[in-house]
Amino acid sequence: MAPLLESCTALSKSYGSRALFENISLGIAEGERLGLIGPNGAGKSTLLKILAGQIEPDSGTVSMRRNTRVGYVPQEAEFPAGLTANDVIAEAIGGELLDEMERSARINQTLGRAGFTDGNARTESLSGGWKRRLAIARELALLPDLLFLDEPTNHLDFEGILWLEKLLQGAAFASVVVSHDRYFLDNVVNDMAEIDRVYPEGLFRVEGGYSQFLEKKEAFLLAQSTHQEALANRVRREVEWLRRGPKARTGKSKARIDDAGRLIRELSELDQRTLKGVTQIDFTATDRQSKRLLSLEKLSKDMGGRTLFRDLSLTLTPGTRLGLLGLNGTGKTTLLRLLSGELEPDGGRVARAQSLRIVYFDQAREQLDRSQTLRNGLGAQGDLVIFQDRPIHVAGWAKRFLFDAGQLDRPIASLSGGEQARVLIARLMLQPADLLLLDEPTNDLDIPTLEVLEESMLDFPGALVLVTHDRYLLDRVSTAVLGLDGRGGARLFADYRQWEQAGQERETRKAVKRDTPVRPGAPAAKKKLSYLETREWEGMEQRILEAELELEAIRAEMQAPEVVSDGPRLQLCFERMTSAEAGVQALYARWAELESKNI
């Protein structure tokens, strides 16, 4: 494969006295889809901007193949006010020599490829997910040879993520993607690289997807750890020899002293590189013994003239970890706000246990005052924070979330998205909770922090309700998922895969119905019912009623607290419900067939 990024050599970048990375080198060839990961603050976004030509490195060079078209999609999609989607694409290709027909075709083709049905939609009216799609479409319109994307799945719903996966898998251009979405990386990339000072060159690259990367990374770190241990033993022996005071008179003694000094420096450098900090997340639970924390009874809510959900009944008990699924606009955040008491339902009621303690992580992070300093944002009272009834010095509390004491007086607004997420988590951990409501807590977090967050959720003894587009986290954490269709429907599933499968089956049924040809011609002669068919038709209404009652009983069983918190039992209930639904549909189809004969 011919190289596109011909050389990227010895790149270094610092901000103030803080070095992000040093001497990074890599190349990109045609057809490569490189996934780029690393801890928050390692410089992933900065490296992407340098490679895309957005900013200059402090040292090192970036050289592209001649006439290579480069596209860059930043983390936050921004557009001038007052523009339509058509305007955004037209502005992007404004410098191209196209006639009016070619220009119009390019705009329509690009927006259609991104899923837009209305090119006149104004940018300020678009949701975060559609703004993300438009930002990607803006770069696609330029027909790039190499596309850089920074956290492209942020704000996309599941449909949007699947669209992007399909787009990148089939793209003629090469791409470099910074992402924390592990399933997305596994499905899209064919090369993986991680920026981290733990590696000798500051970067570790592996051919293959995220799963292959993890295997190779584990093997590398194990070998490095073995080498580190052997080196430490050698240094220990040399230090003991030096303490005995060897006389450096012979060439052999001098060489050994020099070698000992080299080994000590090598071990010190290796120890420094492998010294890693990990965010410590531990949500505080109350001592509540209640078995029923919160119940929804026939809950209904309309927004903007549309019914989001209707007659929703659900019970949350300690140990319940409920994932909320649905496309953007189906009411996931609205449901969280109803659970928290921030909104009131249009119908039904929310019954909360007495003095229920709720902690709410909102995806917009509006609970953060970005004009505050980090010290205040972490919840410090003077120099102390109170965690689980124990005073902790704010510097120690900050260190737990990978901040150093020198950052305490920095404004929160100057922190990265991942750092702001860690501040909000730190603040919420100070509040004892019976119920956690988490709305997209994974946005901007690095993979090591995500893994710690997952463990904290699994260890939390109360109930939690989670909205996330991170399919890996959802599969690992949730005991059940509630799928919202945005048209009033809400159904429980055992996991994300079942919800996805149910959606695919619905689309298949729609496609079959849509594509079934209607043949013109004379109507066929009607057949009269036989004796057995007449008996069957007469009893059909009662059979349908019984089948529907059985289906409702299964659905009610799935709402029971002991079933919601029991994954295997919920799985069996779901399978029974699927079979019962198919039975009801078959009965209705047979009834319609018999009725047509009886007319």
> For residue range 541-556, what is the model confidence (pLDDT) as tens digits?
778 877 877 887 887 7
Q: Is the dihedral of CA 492, 486, 75, 379 positive or negative?
A: negative
For residue 134, pLDDT over 70 is answered with yes
For residue 104, pLDDT over 70 is answered with yes
Gap between the Cα atoms of 147 and 174, Å rounded: 6
Q: Can you tell me the mean pLDDT for 265-281?
A: 66
Pairing of strands 480-484, 463-467: unpaired
Residue 236: how many other CB atoms lie within 10 Å = 11
Is the pLDDT higher at 371 or at 537? 371
Gap between the Cα atoms of 545 and 541, Å rounded: 6
pLDDT (0 to 100) of residue 450: 85
Give the residue ranges of DSSP H helices in 275-390. 332-340, 374-377
CB contact at 8 A, 86 and 65: no
pLDDT (0 to 100) of residue 245: 66
Report residue 465: phi and psi, to 5°. Answer: -125, 125
Q: Can you tell me the mean pLDDT for 81-109?
A: 89
Of the listed ranges 151-155, 267-271, 584-588, the least confidently predicted one is 267-271
pLDDT (0 to 100) of residue 188: 94
pLDDT (0 to 100) of residue 294: 92
For residue 278, pLDDT over 70 is answered with no
Q: Which residues contact 545 (CB under 8 A, 6 or more apart)?
A: none
Whether the pTM exceeds 0.75: the reply is no
Is the pLDDT higher at 288 or at 109? 109
pLDDT (0 to 100) of residue 271: 65
pLDDT (0 to 100) of residue 260: 63
CB contact at 8 A, 235 and 263: yes
Gap between the Cα atoms of 376 and 411, Å rounded: 9
Q: How many helices (H) and strands (E) does the chain have?
A: 18, 21
For residue 460, pLDDT over 80 is answered with yes
pLDDT (0 to 100) of residue 522: 44
CB contact at 8 A, 375 and 411: no
pLDDT (0 to 100) of residue 397: 86
For residue 499, pLDDT over 80 is answered with yes
Of 406, 293, 300, 310, the closest CA to residue 356 belongs to 293
For residue 367, pLDDT over 90 is answered with no
pLDDT (0 to 100) of residue 521: 47
Residue 324: how many other CB atoms lie within 10 Å = 24
For residue 71, name the pLDDT band (cuts at 50, 70, 90). very high
For residue 156, pLDDT over 70 is answered with yes
Is the pLDDT higher at 62 or at 284? 62
For residue 435, pLDDT over 80 is answered with yes
For residue 241, name the pLDDT band (cuts at 50, 70, 90). low
For residue 524, name the pLDDT band (cuts at 50, 70, 90). very low
